Chain A
Amino acid sequence: MSEQATDMLFDLTLEEEQRITRESMQRFAEVEMGSVSRSADEAAEAPAGFYDKTVELGFSLMPIPEDLGGVGMPRSPLSNMLNAEDLAAGDMSLAIGALTPLSFINAVLDNGTAAQIEKYLPRFVAEEFHAATIALMEPRATFDPNDLQTTAKKSGDGYLIKGTKSMVALGDSSELVLVIAELEGEGPAGFVIEQGTRGLTCTKEEYMGLRPLQLSRLVFADVEVSSADRLGHGEKKFDLQRLVDLGRIGLCAMSVGVCQQVLDYVIEYCNTRVAFDEPITNRQSVAFMIGDMATETEAMRMMVYRAASRAEQGLEFHKEAYLAHIQCAKYAMETGTNGVQLLGGHGFIRDHPVELWYRNLRAVGLLDGCVIV
Chain B
Amino acid sequence: MKILVTAKRVVDANVNVRVLSDNSGVDINNVKMAVNPFDEIAIEEAVRIREAGNAEEVVVASIGPTQCKEQIRTALALGADRGIFVETDADIQPLAVAKLLKALVDKENPDLIILGKQAIDGDNIQTGQMLAALAGLPQATFASEILLADGEATVTREIDGGMETITVKTPAVITADLRLNEPRYASLPNIMKAKKKSIDTYTPEELGVDVTPRLTTLKVEPPSDRQAGVIVADVEELVDKLKNEAKVI
Contact = CB atoms under 8 A, between A and B. Distances in A.
Interface of A: 16-17, 19-21, 23-25, 27-28, 56-59, 61-62, 71, 73
Interface in B183-234: 184-192, 194-195
Interface stretch (B46-54, B70-78, B110-118): B70-78
B34 interface: yes
A61 B189 contact: yes
Contact of A24 (B73, B185, B192, B195): B185
Contacts of A24: 77, 185-187, 191
Given A16-B73, A20-B73, A23-B74, A56 B191 contact: no
Among B188, B189, B190, B192, the most chain A Cβ lie within 10 Å of the Cβ of B188
Interface in B159-189: 184-189
Contact of B188 (A23, A27, A61): A61
Contacts of B184: 56
Interface residues of B, number: 16
Contacts of A56: 184-185, 187
Given A20-B77, A23-B34, A57 B188 contact: yes
A57 B185 contact: yes
A198 B34 CA distance: 53
B74 A58 contact: no
A28 B191 CA distance: 15
Given A20-B70, A59-B188, 20 more contacts: A16-B195, A17-B194, A17-B195, A19-B70, A20-B77, A20-B186, A20-B194, A21-B188, A23-B186, A24-B77, A24-B185, A24-B186, A24-B191, A28-B185, A56-B184, A56-B185, A57-B188, A61-B188, A62-B188, A62-B189
Given A16-B70, A16-B73, A21 B195 contact: no
B192 A17 contact: yes
Contacts of B34: 23
B74 A71 contact: no
A56 B79 CA distance: 14
B70 A71 contact: no
Contacts of A20: 70, 73-74, 77, 186, 191, 194
B186 A71 contact: no
Contacts of B189: 58, 61-62, 71
A236 B189 CA distance: 29
A27 B74 contact: no
Nearest to B76: A20
B148 to A, nearest CB: 25
Contacts of A61: 188-189
Contacts of A23: 34, 74, 186
B76 to A, nearest CB: 9
A57 B189 CA distance: 8
**Complex A-B, nearest 6 residue pairs according to Cβ-Cβ distance, in ascending order:** A58-B187, A24-B186, A58-B188, A58-B189, A71-B189, A24-B185
Contacts of B73: 16, 20
A328 B246 CA distance: 54
Given A16-B195, A71-B192, A73-B192, A21 B186 contact: yes
A71 B193 CA distance: 10
B44 to A, nearest CB: 13
Interface string B24-38: 000000000010000
Contacts of B187: 24, 56-58
23 contacts: A16-B195, A17-B191, A17-B194, A20-B70, A20-B73, A20-B186, A21-B188, A23-B34, A23-B186, A24-B77, A24-B185, A25-B185, A27-B185, A56-B185, A57-B188, A58-B187, A58-B190, A59-B188, A61-B188, A62-B188, A62-B192, A71-B188, A71-B192
Interface string B61-95: 00000000010011001000000000000000000
Contacts of A28: 185
A322 to B, nearest CB: 29
Nearest to A24: B186
A59 B77 CA distance: 15
